[in-house]
Structure 1
Amino acid sequence: MVRSGEGAEKTALRVVMQGMSRRAFLRCFGVVVLPRISVQAKAILPSRQAIRRRIRWVFTFVNPSGVALEAQHFWCYLPANVPLVQSLVDIESSAPFQLLEDEFGHRVFAIEFDRIQPFSGKVVTATATVEMAPEATANLLEEPGAWLAPERFIESDHPLIRTLAQELKGDSSPENSARAIYEWVRDNVAYAGYIEEQRGALRALQERRGDCTEYADLVVALARSAGIPARSVGGYVSEWDFTPKAQDYHNWAELYISGAWRIVDAQKGNWLPVSGNYITFRIQRDSLPSPVGDAHRYRISDGLQVRW
């Protein structure tokens, strides 16, 4: 599924700088680069063990109006850098771009067009190479509290969610509690197909229906309420190199159990699946220091349209 950029904040890039020092802004958002860059990232595994995927985009930008568009911007998420799990190795594009990064490891592909003539368009191709661990890798969680607190759409402190979480938790270990949460959400929430608005965990529990986002949010909220660090993640699931499509965008939960972040995908019915098939693009947080804003995949200037 997809959350398009249409609902994101349509403000200029300078808004991202509010509340940030100039040094912090520059550290987060990098500099202009050439049409190809090899990302200097530490290998997560010996090359013979790592899984590599090549991801290719063909972006078609269109000005559908009779007025020229000036200073047009486009931002979209690339595969994120997740310590010991996933690393963006290389990105190349047919047009100059910026590669932006925030404190959560998100990578953003940014393009600016000086001018697009009326009723015309531009095509930009891009290819990314990402390296992934084939299975969950043990790592120390330095700030577990950050993944236990309630957030927007993750209403882990609501009485309804707390009551159910305690019922599912019982006297079980975190692993058994996580399995009970996964099975309850898998068996009690009906898949409703794509839903444009993100509804959150509480509404998913009350209505017992939703799309992959609601499944993920409810698993995360129940896990946090049961004392298990958890996060909602968005990206793509693929065993092969691929071209991302809107309808293939997917959200899942990751729970920190047995010393590692482990995938729990209640909507697809996947309990602790192969990590290397799940490619993380976005980790959900209340506030992200990113020009993509609240959008799940991309953000674009008013007037300009994009297809891929």
Structure 2
Amino acid sequence: MANLSICAAIFNPDTNDYDAYGLKIAANNILLVESHSNAYEFLILLTPYDNVTNDQQCFLSYTDETHYVHSVGVGSHANETNFYAVGQIIGASLDPIDSSVSNNTFIAFYHSPNAESCLTISQILIDYMSLTQRDFLVMVVHPTGQFALVLAENVVFKYNPFVSSRITTNTSFWPDISFTPRAADIDTNFTIVAGLVSNGASSSIRASVIVYLIDNNLRHIYSNWTYKPSNSSWQSQLTFSGTNGWSVKYSMSVDINNFDPTRVLVGVPYLNTVFHFVISGSGTILTLSSQIDNGNSVGFGKGVAWLASDQAAILANRYTSTFS
């Protein structure tokens, strides 16, 4: 794989921005976990959420205050009290020729042997790797909670703490090395990833939205779809400038239907559009079924969630004019 030219930089995120880089909250029928980066701690709640006792609510400090958590995740159908956290080291170099770039990214696994007290939750395992891009780090956790996938620019890795304390890495996975993942969701046998690919500096439209259907062992890309606006649409005038760094403007959302995993929603707020896909071919073919937008604006599709096999909720943020 060709190496991208990377400018020297130090990772110094805004710890007060709860919307930055990834999802800071995750929940299932066992626990809820929220990352508080500005306080270097996790808020943990155990069910039942409507009658929380002192043992069922606690704060767990990060093991290291130089850790910045991009996102947390839980298995949607997990039957154990555990969660994952992925992030980077604050102050770490991102210059590939700088020796301090080593081990600037981490993934941690937290577990409790007692489902009735969050006070027993602790970090069980942590592993590190080196990345030269800090902004695009998307994590999904398998529905059973058995492993997590982390999708980044130029690299993907799988972390299965029940099998090994070390991650497995694939550095030649994405067919387009300019791809930057923005959101993902995982089902039992496949994962949907949404992001952007660069069209090159000479193109008036600097980037395009692309959606990948991949296998959960990070060996195959089964199918992909690229958004192409009609020439008469207002979306065709969007330039997608400034996509090299993280921006809320280019955040996305993905949700696989738990009631019918052949149906997927992908929200792209910059396009003010939500796309509905159908999975066929035993989970290997991705086809656009329909799409809906909310007029010439931005923010529609900030979040998407299936409520039933044929019913969904869509979060539509309302931004000021400075957003665009």
Whose helix proportion is higher, 1 or 2?
1
TM-score (norm 2): 0.24
Query: What is the TM-score of this pair, normalised by structure 1?
Result: 0.25
Q: Which has the higher strand share?
A: 2
